Structure 1
């Protein structure tokens, strides 16, 4: 057995064991296909994990995907457990038919906050991604003590972050299309859209990416913006 086999086996076993333990405490957390890979693309944000509904097919069944970013493994067992619990909250939202995010899964609303707290997380509001910044309090660490020890033992390696090859920022004069629930549409620059929610003067709802709001196939993602750590 090579070193890479040992790393992979320990890591996958620990992640799957922790997810099984979370499901045992919270029955609405669904089964998943676990994947581990790159959470960086050379930009400023780092994807720690995501929950993507119905991404895998086994016969006549569709299965959800749980992704864990390899770069985030260096944070240690407690924070990786926090990522698993974070994504489990999105899984519960899918099970219950709750719209807990918008903006292609980036903005985490108050409904997600309630789910995260139900899963045992402490959540902090971030101005760009909502109730997405999570920590694992002592009570939850004690509940998952065995799984946390297994994760800590298994985290012997992490993935190097991709270098930033973007160069100069490219402008987009056409902007992007955003829509609200009442049907109004606007065009806005990506930087303005990412700066904060834009509310409709007719219905009071928030504009979302045109064609994206409310879709069950959206990927719910935990990011690590540069400003959050």
Structure 2
């Protein structure tokens, strides 16, 4: 059996370059592959600004979850274009998400649609559910073929949970920009933005 990861990373990088040629403000990235399984569900990918350093210059990170590769070239293209929309938002100084990057707002929707994606709204994560229309798939036909040829394996999904840890009803602390704190259940925080009556900003769940 030949090398699995090198052709895959190369195909992802070539696809990212193709997206950059069509959208000039999409920046350079370092591609990483790992597990997308988490307690919150499956992560197909993420864009994270300034996570790598080359000399004195910062480079952004593009993460691709290995489980999502099971969707093939079209699905992987959708993830790459989705993350490229986040990258363009960062380059333009646009805040396109909230709730620690989980909730995708209408500004993200506008950018992602301009990049050729179709978006559906989810109450918990906003305008994040992504599909690739036929016209966009045709535009990236060469890249999809390259991805399909390179995806010779994908990561098995894991089941997280059990472990005997008791659930708690104490909720989670959230803070706004003026420093006020509230405590609410994750279900309440995920249901939609909670705005501060003083500063008008959204309460963000504090990191664990």
Q: TM-score, normalised by structure 2?
A: 0.91
| Residues 127/173 of structure 1: CA separation in 2 closer, same or farther (3 Å cut) | closer
Q: Structure 1 residue 32 and structure 2 residue 29: aligned?
A: yes
1:1-229 matches, within 5 Å, as 2-3=1-2, 5=3, 7-41=4-38, 43=39, 45-167=41-163, 170-202=166-198, 204-210=200-206
**1:139-190 CA deviation, whole Å, 9 max, x = no partner?**
1111111101111111111001123343456334543222334543211122
Distance (whole Å) between structure 1 residues aligned to residue 116 and residue 132 of structure 2: 7
> Which 4+ stretches in 1 moved above 6 angstroms?
none
**Which residues of structure 1 form unaligned runs of 5+?**
212-229
Deviation, 1:202, is: 4.5
Distance (whole Å) between structure 1 residues aligned to residue 123 and residue 205 of structure 2: 18
Distance (whole Å) between structure 2 residues aligned to residue 66 and residue 194 of structure 1: 25
Distance (whole Å) between structure 2 residues aligned to residue 123 and residue 29 of structure 1: 19
CA RMSD between the two structures: 1.9
Question: Which one scores higher on RCO, CA 8 angstroms, separation ≥ 6?
Answer: 1
Q: TM-score, normalised by structure 1?
A: 0.84
Aligned length: 207
| Residues 104/114 of structure 1: CA separation in 2 closer, same or farther (3 Å cut) | same
**Which residues of structure 2 form unaligned runs of 5+?**
none
Whether the 8 Å CA contact 1:180–1:205 is kept in 2: the answer is yes
Deviation, 1:191, is: 3.0
Distance (whole Å) between structure 1 residues aligned to residue 47 and residue 133 of structure 2: 22
Distance (whole Å) between structure 1 residues aligned to residue 99 and residue 28 of structure 2: 25
**1:92-150 CA deviation, whole Å, 9 max, x = no partner?**
01101100001110000010001101111110000100000011111111111110111
Distance (whole Å) between structure 2 residues aligned to residue 131 and residue 174 of structure 1: 29
Question: What SS class does the counterpart of residue 50 from structure 2 fall into?
Answer: strand
